[in-house]
Structure 1
Amino acid sequence: MDFRITEEQELMVQAIEEAMTRENLEPYFQDCDKNHTHPEKWWEILKELGCFSMFLPEEAEGEDGEPGGGEGAVTMFLVMEALGRCGAPIYLFWDHVKADALLENGTKEQIDKFMPLFFKGNGAFAQGFSEPTAGTELSSNTILTTYTRRNGKVYINGHKHFISGAQDNDYCLTLAKNSENPEQLTLWFVPTNVPGCKKEPMEKMGLNMENVNDIWFDDVEIEESDMFSFEGNGLMATSKGFDYERLIDAFNAYGQALCAYEDACRYANQRIVKGQEIGRLQLIQNHIMEMTMKIEAMRNMLLHYAWNKDNNCLTRAEASIAKQFCSESANDIADHALQVMGGIGYCGSRVSRIYRDLRITRISGGTGEIQTVIASRQVLKKYK
C-alpha cells in the first residue's frame, strides 16, 4: 500500500486550506453555532472548490450533464482532514454517500429528480429510518410506521425520530412496513412539506449547524412510483452504504479531533505560567502524548481502510472497528485538549464546540456497543 499523496491531492488540500484561511471563517462558525443556522457561506466555498461533485460516481449526472468526479475514499479522507484541521463542521459533509444507493436502486425518474441536487450540495432527501422504538435495531418488530394501499394510492402513517436535515429537504426516504403484510419493510420517497406531515426540530447538546427532527406522517398520500427499490427490500436497498457511512463517521471524528489536538498544542507553546510555557511541564506533556498517539493511530488506520474501500476490499468489521476506535479516541482527544487549554478551552474556544459536537459520534450511525457486536462476530468467525 502506498499512502503518499498524489500531486493532484496535494494541490486540492492546499486549495482548501488557502480558501479556509483567506476567509477566516471561525467567527462565522461561532455565529452559526450560536444561532443554530446552516453555514451557507462555507457551503458556497465548498461548491466553488468542487467538493460536492468530486465524490459523486462518474456515472452520475448534474443538470447540465456534467459527470461526477469519481474520487474515492482516500481523497475523501484528505478533504475531511483538511477541512477538520481548519475547524469546519465536517459532520455536515456526508450526503453524497446516498448517491450510490440512488444509482443502484432508483428509477430513472428518481435519479433524474434527485441526483442533480447532490451536485449543488443539497441533501436531496432526508433518510427516515429511526423511530422512538427503532434505532440500532431496524426490523418489522421495531418499525411502527406503515404504508397502506387504498384507491390506487399509498398512504404513510407513523413517527420518525432523530432525522438529520429534514427541515431543509422536501422529501424523506422513509422506511415503513406493509400494514397488510408487516414482514415487508419498504422504502418510499415521501414529501414532507405537505398537509399531513409535521416536522419539529429537536434540541441537542451539539451539532448546532445541523437540524435534527421528529417527523409525523398522518395519511400522507404518495404514488406507487415513489417506491424505492422493490417491495420488501427496504433494509437491503441502502445497506451497502452503511459501511462507507461508518467509515466517513470515523473520518469526521478524526478531522474534528485533529483540530482540537493542534489547537491544544499551539496553546501549550504560548501559555506562560511562572515564566515558562506550560508545554514544558511533564503533566501537560502527558496530555500531548496521549493525544498524539491516538491521532497517529487513527490516521494510519483510516488511510488503510480508505485504501481498502477504494480497492473494494473494505470489510464490515473494518468499518465498525474504524467507527468505534475513532469515535472513542476523538472524544478522548477533545477531553485532553480541553484540559490543556483550561478555562479558555471551556469558554468560547472552538475546542468547546468540538467537544460538544464529537459526543454524538459514539451514538450516531450505530452505537459503539453495536459496532463491537458487529466487528467481534466477524473476527470470531475467522477462528472457528
Structure 2
Amino acid sequence: MTTEAGLDADEQAIVETVREFVDRDVRPVVRDLEHDNVYPEALIEQMKRLGIFGLAVPEPYGEVRVSAPCYALVTEELARGWMSLAGAMGGHTVVAKLLSDYGTEEQKQKYLPRMATGELRATMALTEPGGGSDLQAMRTVAAPAGGDGDTSAGYVLNGTKTWISNARRAGLVAVLCKTDPDADPPHRGISVLLVEKGPGFTVSRDLPKLGYKGVESCELSFDDCRVPESALLGGVEGQGFAQMMRGLEIGRIQVAARATGVARAAFDDALRYAQERESFGVPIWKHQSVGNHLAEMGTKLTAARQLLLHAARTYDSGQRSDMEAGMAKLFCSETAMEVALTAVRVHGGYGYSTEFDVERYFRDAPLMIVGEGTNEIQRDVVARQLIARGGL
C-alpha cells in the first residue's frame, strides 16, 4: 500500500515518526531556543538517533535510504517545527548525495558510514563574498602542492567562502574550487575537494541573520590549506561544476520542502486562530476578508506541496530535474513568504508579537527566497530549460 505521495508503509512510518518528534519535542521549546539564538544540541542528538542524517546514505554505508518524496516530507515536517532543524541537515544531505553518486570507493567507505549516524556532519561551501550565485566566477583556487601540475602531494587551497551553514560543527566540507583557473570554458576547471578541518582552514566569523536562528552561518578562510590528492571528489579534476549542479537539484528540493513546512506551520496557526478569535460576535474566519485569506493560503500551500513532490519524483527517476527543482524552489519559497505574511494579517496585532510563532515564520521565510540560488536565478534556470526542452 502506498500513500498519495507514493510512499510505502515503511517510509510513511518514518514521516509519522518525525511528525511525532516535532509535535512532542520541538514545538514546546522552539520559541525560547529561537529567541535566544541557541544551538539546538539536544534536538540534533535526537535527530541523529532517529536516523535523519542517514536518509540519503545508501546501503551498505547506511541502513535506510529513502526516496526523494519521503526525504522531502521529512524535511517539511522538521521545518514545520523549526526551519533551522531542516537547515541543519540540508547541506549534509547534498554532500551525502555527492559522495554516493560520484565518490571513489575509498571516499565512500571513509565518510558515508559516519555521516549516516550523524557522528560526522558535513556541509558544502559554494558561495563567495561578492560572488553570489555566479559560481563560475569563484576565486577559491586549489593549486598542485608539487608544482608543475604534480598533485601527488595534494593541493594547496586558498580562498574565502561565505554563508556556509553548520560550518562550525561540520567535520567535512565539500569545497567548490578552481583546480584549473585558465580553463575555457571556466566550468571545466572546477572541482570539488572534500576538506577536513586542520591548519590553514579557519571558520572566521558567524554572520548575523534576520531569521534562521540557532544554526550558524559562517565565513570560511583557506590560507595555504593543504589537502591530500585523495580529497578530490571522484578522483578526476574538472568535473566539480556538473557534480555540484546535480547535488543542488536535491538541495533545491530540500529548500522547497523547508519553505513548504514553514508555510504549513503559518497556515495551521492562522486557521486555528481564525476559529478561536471572535469579533463582532462571530469567529473571524466568518468575515469574508479573513475567510478569503484562508482559502488563498490553503490553495497555494496545496499547490506548493504537489509541485514539491513532482520535483522529488522527477529527481528519483534519474532524469535531469534542474527545471523541476527550480520551479519547486521558486514557487514554494514565494508561497511561504506570502502565507507567512498573511498569517500575520490574520493574527492582527498579535502577529507582530514575539509571543506568537507567526513572527518567526515571517523572519524565516525570506531565507528560502535567497538561499540555494536566488529565485531570480531559479527563473533563469527554468526559462533556459523551457527553451532547451521545447516547452513543458
Secondary structure of 2:262's partner? helix
In the other structure, the counterpart of 1:346 is 352
Matched, 1:381 2:362: no
Task: Report the Cα distance in structure 2 between the residues aligned to 1:177 and 1:15, rounded to whole angstroms.
Answer: 42
Post-superposition CA distance 1:229-269 (Å, at most 9, x none) = 32222212322111121112111110111011000100011
**Is the 1:77–1:306 contact (alpha carbons within 8 Å) kept by the matching residues of 2?**
yes
In the other structure, the counterpart of 1:277 is 283
Secondary structure of 2:52's partner? coil
In the other structure, the counterpart of 1:244 is 250
Matched, 1:92 2:91: no
Matches within 5 A, 1:86-165: 86-87=81-82, 89=84, 90-94=86-90, 95-121=92-118, 124-139=121-136, 142-151=137-146, 152-165=153-166
Post-superposition CA distance 1:65-106 (Å, at most 9, x none) = xx3312101212332333344456323332223212113332
Q: Which letter maps to 1:201?
A: D
Secondary structure of 1:167's partner? coil
Is the alpha carbon distance of 1:114 and 1:37 closer, same or farther for their aligned partners in structure 2, counting shifts above 3 Å? farther
Secondary structure of 2:225's partner? strand
Task: Report the Cα distance in structure 2 between the residues aligned to 1:331 and 1:78, rounded to whole angstroms.
Answer: 19
Is the alpha carbon distance of 1:84 and 1:147 closer, same or farther for their aligned partners in structure 2, counting shifts above 3 Å? closer
Post-superposition CA distance 1:300-348 (Å, at most 9, x none) = 2222332223333463211111111111111100010111012222212
**Is the 1:87–1:350 contact (alpha carbons within 8 Å) kept by the matching residues of 2?**
no
In the other structure, the counterpart of 1:8 is 10
Deviates more, 1:259-268 or 1:298-307: 298-307
Secondary structure of 1:216's partner? strand
Is the alpha carbon distance of 1:383 and 1:104 closer, same or farther for their aligned partners in structure 2, counting shifts above 3 Å? closer
Task: Report the Cα distance in structure 2 between the residues aligned to 1:179 and 1:76, rounded to whole angstroms.
Answer: 35
Give 1:364's match in structure 2, choosing from 351, 355, 371. 371
Superposed displacement of residue 195, structure 1:
4.6
Matched, 1:210 2:210: no
Task: Report the Cα distance in structure 2 between the residues aligned to 1:34 and 1:71, rounded to whole angstroms.
Answer: 33
Deviates more, 1:202-211 or 1:103-112: 103-112
Q: Which letter maps to 1:202?
A: L
In the other structure, the counterpart of 1:64 is none
Secondary structure of 2:168's partner? helix
Is the alpha carbon distance of 1:193 and 1:320 closer, same or farther for their aligned partners in structure 2, counting shifts above 3 Å? same
**Is the 1:126–1:163 contact (alpha carbons within 8 Å) kept by the matching residues of 2?**
yes
Secondary structure of 2:157's partner? strand
In the other structure, the counterpart of 1:19 is 21
Task: Report the Cα distance in structure 2 between the residues aligned to 1:58 and 1:199, rounded to whole angstroms.
Answer: 36
Matched, 1:306 2:312: yes
In the other structure, the counterpart of 2:69 is 74
**Is the 2:180–2:190 contact (alpha carbons within 8 Å) kept by the matching residues of 1?**
no
Superposed displacement of residue 2, structure 1:
5.6
Task: Report the Cα distance in structure 2 between the residues aligned to 1:322 and 1:278, rounded to whole angstroms.
Answer: 32
> TM-score of the superposition, structure 2-length normalised?
0.87
Is the alpha carbon distance of 1:38 and 1:185 closer, same or farther for their aligned partners in structure 2, counting shifts above 3 Å? same
**Is the 2:72–2:253 contact (alpha carbons within 8 Å) kept by the matching residues of 1?**
no
> TM-score of the superposition, structure 1-length normalised?
0.89
In the other structure, the counterpart of 1:191 is 196
Task: Report the Cα distance in structure 1 between the residues aligned to 2:307 and 2:334, rounded to whole angstroms.
Answer: 14
**Is the 1:166–1:212 contact (alpha carbons within 8 Å) kept by the matching residues of 2?**
yes
In the other structure, the counterpart of 2:149 is none
Q: Which letter maps to 2:316?
A: D
Deviates more, 1:353-362 or 1:76-85: 76-85
Secondary structure of 2:173's partner? strand
In the other structure, the counterpart of 1:43 is 44
CA RMSD of aligned residues (A): 2.5
Is the alpha carbon distance of 1:192 and 1:342 closer, same or farther for their aligned partners in structure 2, counting shifts above 3 Å? farther
**Is the 1:192–1:199 contact (alpha carbons within 8 Å) kept by the matching residues of 2?**
no
Task: Report the Cα distance in structure 1 between the residues aligned to 2:83 and 2:127, rounded to whole angstroms.
Answer: 27
Task: Report the Cα distance in structure 2 between the residues aligned to 1:3 and 1:155, rounded to whole angstroms.
Answer: 46
Post-superposition CA distance 1:169-209 (Å, at most 9, x none) = 23422222247746522222333343563421111111112
Task: Report the Cα distance in structure 2 between the residues aligned to 1:172 and 1:13, rounded to whole angstroms.
Answer: 28
**Is the 2:34–2:213 contact (alpha carbons within 8 Å) kept by the matching residues of 1?**
yes
Q: Which letter maps to 1:83?
A: L
Please, which runs of 5 or more residues in structure 2 have no aligned partner?
147-152
Q: Percent identity?
A: 29
Please, which runs of 5 or more residues in structure 1 have no aligned partner?
62-66
Is the alpha carbon distance of 1:258 and 1:380 closer, same or farther for their aligned partners in structure 2, counting shifts above 3 Å? same
In the other structure, the counterpart of 1:52 is 53
